[in-house]
Amino acid sequence: MDTEHAAPADLAALRAAFDVDDNGASALGWTAVHAFEAEHGVVLPEPYRTFVAEISDGSYAGPPEYGLVALAELPDDWGDERPERRPDLPFPLTEAWLWEDDPRPLEEIEALLDPVFDHGSIVLGTDGCGMYWHLVVTGPHRGHVWNISGEGAAPFGAEFGFSTGGSGLAGWVNHWAANKPWFDAP
């Protein structure tokens, strides 16, 4: 997974999976991508960065279930009572966390949850029922896609043991395009 350079094969696969053939008309453009990065103090990982700049800024087709939301948007079911999103702060996790089964006191767990949902990532979209897909943009897991729900959070990719898919945005999208369930590891 190369988060610094967009591989042409990854971009072609993203274009095909999201069924984008409008010569960049639905793309955000590099000026807007650079403005987002400057405003939020991040550099988006590749191939997502080139995808939104040159191919499409969101899509109703493709993953997740309710579509890929635009760069600066959130899914409709995100909620209005959430804290401010801070993509510039490090994403706090490096391994899966099922807080639903965490033995610590509820108050302690709740204090740790907002950063998981709101720091160091952009929201790619939702599969419904509070199941969100995030692309990590800061911290040790930069470039990885994570599933974050009301019960816990887990990284996507074969090396993490929950899926047979490849890591990063391209691996996540290719897994979906192959019509495989998200969590298909034995």
Torsion angle (degrees, nearest 10) of CA 15, 88, 109, 130: -30
pLDDT for position 102: 94
Domain of residue 36, CATH code: 3.40.1580
Sole residue written with tokens 């391994």: 95
pLDDT for position 62: 78
What is the rounded distance in angstroms from the CA atom of residue 131 to the CA atom of residue 94? 19
Q: Which residues of the chain fall short of a pLDDT of 70? A: 23-24
Domain count, the chain: 1
Alpha helices in 83-182 (DSSP H): 106-118, 168-177
pLDDT for position 137: 98
pLDDT for position 21: 72
Q: Is residue 50 part of a domain?
A: yes
pLDDT for position 141: 96
Q: Containing domain of residue 123, as a range?
A: 8-72+85-177
Map residue 125 onto helix, strand or coil.
Answer: strand
Q: Is residue 111 part of a domain?
A: yes
Taking CB atoms within 8 Å and a gap of at least 24, the contacts of 77-82 are: 77/126, 77/128, 77/130, 78/123, 78/126, 78/132, 82/114, 82/117, 82/118
Q: Is residue 183 part of a domain?
A: no
Q: Is residue 13 part of a domain?
A: yes
Q: Is residue 78 part of a domain?
A: no
pLDDT for position 2: 86
What is the rounded distance in angstroms from the CA atom of residue 79 to the CA atom of residue 182? 24
Map residue 16 onto helix, strand or coil.
Answer: helix
Q: Is residue 77 part of a domain?
A: no
CA distance readout (Å), 45 to 11, 120, 125, 179: 13, 12, 17, 25
Q: Is residue 123 part of a domain?
A: yes
Q: State pTM to two decimals.
A: 0.94
Averaged pLDDT score across all residues of the chain:
93
Q: Is residue 1 part of a domain?
A: no
